[in-house]
Amino acid sequence: MGGSVAALSGAAFAVGAASLVSFIGMYAYELPTHRCPFCVLQSDYHYVGYALYLALLGGAVLGLGAGAIAPAGRIPSLAQVVPRVQRRLVAVSSALWALLAALVAWIILATDFRP
């Protein structure tokens, strides 16, 4: 379970980071030529970038963490603990990915910008 979640989280992070720069920014800024990934952190954009980055980075780190602790599950004293921790990491990571999707949908639907 941990390895596949880690691989998917790594891929989702790469796609999410590229999307933030090339696609989501156009809708947040309502300007097709503005692609700065840091301006969404400003008050002009209601600080939505903090939530975007928290969800993006949190989802990736927790998903990768589920894979990183998988080898510890082979240690007899940790065999009971590691799957439980992995389930929690995957659950929180999934919630953060869902939050990211909801935020992006809100940004796209709340703007008057149409490319």
pLDDT value of residue 28 = 87
Nearest to 100 by CA among 108, 69, 5: 108
106 within some domain: yes
47 within some domain: yes
pTM for the full predicted model: 0.91
115 within some domain: no
Phi-psi bin for 114: left (phi > 0), alpha (psi -120 to 50), beta? Answer: beta
Which one has a higher pLDDT value, 47 or 115? Answer: 47
82 within some domain: yes
- Whether the pLDDT of residue 1 is over 80: the answer is no
8 within some domain: yes
- Amino acid symbol at 109: L
pLDDT value of residue 33 = 86
Question: What's the alpha-carbon Rg for the chain, to the nearest Å?
Answer: 17
Number of domains the chain contains = 1
* Cβ atoms of 52 and 16 closer than 8 Å: no
Question: Model confidence over 25-83: pLDDT tens digits?
Answer: 888 888 888 888 899 999 988 899 999 999 999 999 999 999 999 999 999 999 999 99
* Cβ atoms of 90 and 58 closer than 8 Å: no
Q: Which domain holds residue 71?
A: 2-110
pLDDT value of residue 115 = 67
26 within some domain: yes
